[in-house]
């Protein structure tokens, strides 16, 4: 359920931030000392004095919430809706009474602050790519996905404003990754797959040639399905989970029609976060969203 009570006012949002931020104890953001005492307040926020460096700070100091003109309750509402409901910034702008520019800046800052998911593969792994029409901001066109099958030529590249996005599904630990790349080539594929714990990682792919070099590499056991031959599943060898994850990623990106190719990485990070909080109740989900940017 939507965490109304936590976002009721700036004071209740401040209270939430205080709880999440100092869950492991207070620490001075200037010198990391734990010798810190309460020292009045700054608006809705608790203020502190560091006994080591003599400097003061408050609950927002050193976070992306600092110096925001937008109240923390509104800001958290925006981030929550953005991640949880895939709300576009234009739609958020209609809900929140602040300038579009500053809201846009804050939401993108939020997305950029999220950690990139650390790829660590157990395997077996499905890998596949899809292509997003994302040029420079302002002249992006949303196009239907390329038809699969025989049309393997003319794959997109970053330079051609159609950057590839790789999806990796680790069947060993259930993790899924969505990683934008400059181009869909052997080097990129190797970089994506090198973070694994196996001596011989089983990799399922389609028939795209960038995956071919895995075939005679002792570190990999590659099995492929050739979609062009009307073959989609061959025992365990398929990339169906990648394809369904890719369609979720496409749907995730679609409300944000203005996403430029340089921002693709940032816009896909909240998509990862969204999956993490999917089954969590509103309160927990909101706390995790806050924690993810501290
Ligand atoms: Zn200090």
Q: How confident is the model at residue 156 (pLDDT cuts 50, 70, 90)?
A: confident
Mean pLDDT of the chain: 90
Q: What is the tens place of the pLDDT at every residue in 15-42?
A: 999 999 999 999 999 999 999 999 999 9
**Are 240 and 233 contacting, i.e. CB atoms less than 8 angstroms apart?**
yes
Using alpha carbons, select from 283, 260, 275, 272 the residue that is nearest to residue 2. 283
pLDDT given for residue 149 in this prediction = 46
**Rounded Cα–Cα distance for residues 153 and 207 (Å):** 12
pLDDT given for residue 196 in this prediction = 82
Sequence-ordered alpha helix ranges (H) in the chain: 10-21, 72-85, 89-95, 100-113, 186-193, 240-253, 264-277, 282-291
**Which protein residues have a CB closer than 5 Å to ligand 1 (ion)?**
28, 30-31, 33, 50, 52-53
Overall pTM surpassing 0.85 (yes/no)? yes
- How far apart are the CA of 57 and the centre of ligand 1, in A? 9
- How far apart are the CA of 294 and the centre of ligand 1, in A? 18
- Residue 245 has φ and ψ, to the nearest 5°, of -65, -40
- How far apart are the CA of 53 and the centre of ligand 1, in A? 4
Q: What is the tens place of the pLDDT at every residue in 64-101?
A: 999 998 999 999 999 999 999 999 999 999 999 999 99
- How far apart are the CA of 150 and the centre of ligand 1, in A? 62
- How far apart are the CA of 29 and the centre of ligand 1, in A? 7
- How far apart are the CA of 226 and the centre of ligand 1, in A? 60
Beta bridge partners of 205: 224
Task: Kindly tell me if the per-residue pLDDT of 291 is higher than 50.
Answer: yes
- How far apart are the CA of 59 and the centre of ligand 1, in A? 14
Structure tokens at 271: 């998509």
Task: Kindly tell me if the per-residue pLDDT of 6 is higher than 70.
Answer: yes
- How far apart are the CA of 253 and the centre of ligand 1, in A? 41
> What is the strand order of the sheet 45-50 is part of?
36-42, 45-50, 56-58
pLDDT given for residue 258 in this prediction = 67
Close Cβ partners of 156 (under 8 Å, ≥ 6 residues apart): 131, 132, 146, 162, 163, 164, 184
pLDDT given for residue 197 in this prediction = 78
Q: Coil, strand, or helix at residue 162? A: coil
Q: What is the tens place of the pLDDT at every residue in 228-249?
A: 667 667 788 899 999 999 999 9
- Residues above pLDDT 70, as percent of the chain: 91
Task: Kindly tell me if the per-residue pLDDT of 137 is higher than 60.
Answer: no
Structure tokens at 6: 């936590």
**Are 175 and 190 contacting, i.e. CB atoms less than 8 angstroms apart?**
no
Q: What is the tens place of the pLDDT at every residue in 181-231?
A: 999 999 999 999 998 877 899 999 999 999 999 999 999 999 998 776 676
């Amino acid at each position: 359920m939507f965490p109304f009570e936590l976002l009721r006012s700036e004071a209740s949002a401040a209270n939430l931030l205080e709880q999440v931020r100092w869950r492991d104890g207070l620490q001075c953001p200037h010198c990391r000392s734990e010798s810190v005492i309460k020292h009045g307040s700054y608006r809705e926020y608790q203020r502190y004095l560091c006994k080591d460096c003599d400097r003061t700070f408050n609950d927002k100091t050193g976070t992306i919430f600092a110096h925001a003109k937008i109240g923390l309750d509104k800001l958290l509402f925006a981030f929550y809706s953005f991640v949880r409901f895939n709300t576009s910034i234009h739609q958020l702008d209609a809900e929140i009474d602040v300038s579009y520019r500053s809201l846009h800046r804050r939401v993108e800052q939020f997305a950029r602050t999220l950690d990139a998911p650390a790829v660590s593969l157990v395997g077996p792994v499905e890998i596949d790519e899809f292509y997003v029409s994302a040029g420079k901001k302002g002249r992006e066109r949303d196009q239907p996905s390329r038809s699969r099958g025989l049309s393997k030529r003319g794959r997109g590249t970053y330079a051609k404003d159609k950057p590839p996005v790789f999806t990796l599904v680790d069947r060993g630990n259930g993790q899924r990754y969505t990683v934008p790349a400059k181009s869909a080539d052997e080097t990129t594929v190797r970089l994506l797959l090198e973070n694994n714990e196996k001596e011989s990682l089983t990799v399922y792919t389609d028939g795209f040639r960038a995956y071919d070099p895995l075939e005679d590499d002792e570190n990999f056991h590659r099995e492929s399905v050739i979609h062009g031959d009307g073959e989609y599943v061959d025992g365990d060898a398929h990339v169906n989970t990648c394809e369904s994850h890719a369609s979720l990623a496409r749907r995730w990106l679609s409300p944000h029609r203005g996403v430029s190719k340089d921002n693709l990485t940032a816009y896909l990070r909240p998509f990862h976060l969204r999956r993490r909080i999917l089954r969590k109740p509103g309160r927990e989900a909101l706390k995790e969203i806050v924690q993810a940017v501290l």
